[in-house]
Protein backbone atom coordinates (compact mmCIF):
# COMPACT_ATOMS: atom_id res chain seq x y z
CA UNK A 1 0.00 0.00 0.00
CA UNK A 2 1.22 3.49 -0.73
CA UNK A 3 2.10 5.96 1.99
CA UNK A 4 2.56 9.71 1.98
CA UNK A 5 4.94 11.65 4.22
CA UNK A 6 4.85 15.32 5.02
CA UNK A 7 7.90 15.93 7.12
CA UNK A 8 7.08 19.48 8.21
CA UNK A 9 4.26 19.27 10.74
CA UNK A 10 4.30 22.94 11.70
CA UNK A 11 5.76 25.87 9.78
CA UNK A 12 5.80 29.48 10.91
CA UNK A 13 6.72 32.19 8.41
CA UNK A 14 6.55 35.94 8.20
CA UNK A 15 4.61 37.57 5.41
CA UNK A 16 6.52 37.79 2.11
CA UNK A 17 8.72 34.82 3.03
CA UNK A 18 9.01 31.97 0.54
CA UNK A 19 7.34 28.66 1.25
CA UNK A 20 8.22 25.10 0.40
CA UNK A 21 6.34 22.18 1.93
CA UNK A 22 7.68 18.71 1.39
CA UNK A 23 5.69 15.70 0.25
CA UNK A 24 7.10 12.26 -0.46
CA UNK A 25 5.21 9.13 -1.41
CA UNK A 26 6.14 5.47 -1.49
CA UNK A 27 4.47 4.04 -4.62
CA UNK A 28 6.74 3.24 -7.57
CA UNK A 29 4.21 3.18 -10.41
CA UNK A 30 2.01 5.77 -12.03
CA UNK A 31 0.57 8.26 -9.57
CA UNK A 32 -1.83 11.16 -9.49
CA UNK A 33 -0.86 13.85 -7.01
CA UNK A 34 -2.83 16.51 -5.17
CA UNK A 35 -2.43 19.30 -2.69
CA UNK A 36 -5.46 20.26 -0.63
CA UNK A 37 -5.76 23.20 1.74
CA UNK A 38 -7.97 23.56 4.80
CA UNK A 39 -8.41 27.12 6.03
CA UNK A 40 -9.42 27.56 9.68
CA UNK A 41 -12.99 26.45 10.18
CA UNK A 42 -13.45 25.45 6.56
CA UNK A 43 -13.47 22.21 4.63
CA UNK A 44 -10.77 20.93 2.33
CA UNK A 45 -10.33 22.61 -1.01
CA UNK A 46 -8.22 21.54 -3.94
CA UNK A 47 -5.13 23.69 -4.39
CA UNK A 48 -3.61 21.93 -7.39
CA UNK A 49 -3.21 18.53 -8.97
CA UNK A 50 -0.89 16.61 -11.25
CA UNK A 51 -2.02 13.81 -13.55
CA UNK A 52 0.51 13.89 -16.40
CA UNK A 53 2.51 16.24 -18.62
CA UNK A 54 4.48 19.22 -17.34
CA UNK A 55 5.81 18.27 -13.90
CA UNK A 56 5.55 21.88 -12.71
CA UNK A 57 1.92 22.47 -11.85
CA UNK A 58 0.40 25.83 -11.07
CA UNK A 59 -2.60 26.11 -8.80
CA UNK A 60 -4.78 28.75 -7.25
CA UNK A 61 -3.57 31.70 -5.15
CA UNK A 62 -0.04 31.63 -6.56
CA UNK A 63 0.84 28.13 -5.40
CA UNK A 64 2.80 25.68 -7.53
CA UNK A 65 4.16 22.19 -7.07
CA UNK A 66 6.84 20.20 -8.82
CA UNK A 67 6.62 16.47 -9.44
CA UNK A 68 10.07 14.88 -9.31
CA UNK A 69 9.57 11.23 -10.18
CA UNK A 70 13.12 10.16 -9.30
CA UNK A 71 12.70 11.55 -5.79
CA UNK A 72 9.09 10.40 -5.32
CA UNK A 73 8.33 13.98 -4.34
CA UNK A 74 5.65 16.58 -4.99
CA UNK A 75 6.69 19.67 -3.04
CA UNK A 76 4.44 22.70 -2.74
CA UNK A 77 5.89 26.17 -3.20
CA UNK A 78 4.87 29.79 -3.05
CA UNK A 79 7.35 32.65 -3.61
CA UNK A 80 5.75 35.08 -1.15
CA UNK A 81 3.21 34.02 1.47
CA UNK A 82 0.43 36.16 2.87
CA UNK A 83 -1.29 36.10 6.24
CA UNK A 84 -4.35 34.64 4.48
CA UNK A 85 -2.31 31.54 3.59
CA UNK A 86 -2.49 30.43 7.22
CA UNK A 87 -4.04 26.98 6.92
CA UNK A 88 -3.33 23.27 7.02
CA UNK A 89 -1.98 21.76 3.82
CA UNK A 90 -2.42 18.14 2.82
CA UNK A 91 -0.61 16.22 0.14
CA UNK A 92 -2.54 13.27 -1.34
CA UNK A 93 -1.65 10.52 -3.74
CA UNK A 94 -3.68 8.20 -5.89
CA UNK A 95 -1.70 5.20 -7.06
CA UNK A 96 -2.51 3.88 -10.50
CA UNK A 97 -3.74 0.57 -9.11
CA UNK A 98 -5.87 2.07 -6.33
CA UNK A 99 -9.00 2.99 -8.24
CA UNK A 100 -10.46 6.16 -6.79
CA UNK A 101 -8.74 5.91 -3.41
CA UNK A 102 -6.62 8.77 -2.12
CA UNK A 103 -3.93 8.40 0.50
CA UNK A 104 -3.29 11.59 2.47
CA UNK A 105 -0.22 12.78 4.27
CA UNK A 106 -0.43 13.88 7.89
CA UNK A 107 -0.73 17.55 7.00
CA UNK A 108 1.40 20.64 7.59
CA UNK A 109 0.07 23.51 9.66
CA UNK A 110 1.29 26.82 8.26
CA UNK A 111 1.08 29.97 10.29
CA UNK A 112 1.95 33.24 8.59
CA UNK A 113 2.72 36.11 10.91
CA UNK A 114 1.62 39.56 9.70
Partner 1 sequence: NAGVTQTPKFQVLKTGQSMTLQCAQDMNHNSMYWYRQDPGMGLRLIYYSASEGTTDKGEVPNGYNVSRLNKREFSLRLESAAPSQTSVYFCASSYGVARTVQETQYFGPGTRLLVL
Q: Which residues bind partner 1 (CB under 8 A)?
A: 4, 6, 9, 32, 34, 36, 42-46, 49, 51, 90, 92, 94, 96, 99-107
d(CA 111, CA 3) in angstroms, rounded, equals: 25
Nearer to partner 1, 85 or 107 (CB): 107
Nearer to partner 1, 13 or 44 (CB): 44
Alpha-carbon dihedral angle through residues 54, 58, 64, 65, given to the nearest 10 degrees: -30
CB of 17 to partner 1, least distance (A): 24
CB of 72 to partner 1, least distance (A): 17
Alpha-carbon dihedral angle through residues 36, 79, 67, 51, given to the nearest 10 degrees: 50
Q: How would you classify the pairing of strands 108-113 and 10-14?
A: parallel
Q: Considering only CA atoms, which of 79, 66, 78 is closest in space to residue 33? A: 66
CB of 30 to partner 1, least distance (A): 10
Nearer to partner 1, 86 or 104 (CB): 104
Nearer to partner 1, 63 or 90 (CB): 90
Amino acid sequence: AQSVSQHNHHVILSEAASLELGCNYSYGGTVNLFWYVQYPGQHLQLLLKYFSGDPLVKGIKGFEAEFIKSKFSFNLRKPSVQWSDTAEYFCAVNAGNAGNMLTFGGGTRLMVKP
